[in-house]
Amino acid sequence: MGKTLCVTGAAGYIGSWLVKCLLQSGHTVHATLRDPENAAKAGHLLSLPGAKERLRLFMADLSEDGSFDAAISGCEGVFHLAMPLLFHSQNPEEEIFEPAIRGTLNVLKACVKAKSVRRVVYTSSISTVSAIGEDGKRIQTVDETFWVSVDHVKAQKPNGWMYIVAKTLAEKEALKFAREHNIDMVTIIPVTVAGKFLTSTVPSSVRVLMSPVTGDTEYYELAKAVELRLGCLALAHIEDICNAHMFLMDHQQQIAGERYICCAHSCSISNLRCLLSRHPDLKENSRENVQDQDGECLVQVSSKKLMDLGFQYKHGIEEIFNDSIQSWKTITSGIISN
Question: Quick one: DSSP state of residue 3?
Answer: P
Per-domain residue ranges of the chain:
4-193+236-263+299-317
What pLDDT does residue 304 have?
A: 96
Q: Would you say 216 and 207 are in contact if contact means Cβ atoms under 8 Å apart?
A: yes
Which percentage of the chain shows pLDDT scores above 70?
91
Q: How many CB atoms within 10 Å of residue 334?
A: 8
Q: Which helix (H) or strand (E) holds 302?
A: none
Active-site residue, 41 included: no
How many angstroms separate the CA atoms of 138 and 249, rounded? 33
- Helix axes of 98-114 and 161-180: crossing angle, nearest 10 degrees: 30
DSSP calls for 116-143: ---EEEEE--GGGB-SB-TTSPBPSEE-
> What is the DSSP pairing of strand 233-237 with strand 265-267?
antiparallel
Query: Which amino acid is located at 316 in the chain?
Result: G
139-198 tens-digit pLDDT:
899 999 999 999 999 998 988 899 999 999 999 999 999 999 999 999 999 999 999 999
CATH number of this structure's domain 4-193+236-263+299-317: 3.40.50.720
Residue 67 has pLDDT above 90, yes or no: yes
- The residues, ordered by sequence, that sit 6+ positions from 240 with a Cβ below 8 Å of its Cβ are 262, 264, 313, 314, 315
Q: What mean pLDDT value characterizes the chain?
A: 89
How many angstroms separate the CA atoms of 273 and 221, rounded? 15
What pLDDT does residue 338 have?
A: 32
Q: Would you say 31 and 45 are in contact if contact means Cβ atoms under 8 Å apart?
A: yes
Residue 127 has pLDDT above 90, yes or no: yes
How many angstroms separate the CA atoms of 181 and 43, rounded? 36
Per the residue annotation, which of 20, 41, 167, 196 is the catalytic one? 167
273-291 tens-digit pLDDT:
887 777 666 655 444 445 5
Helices (H), 198-237: 204-214, 217-230
HSE-CB of 261 using CA atoms within 13 angstroms: 26
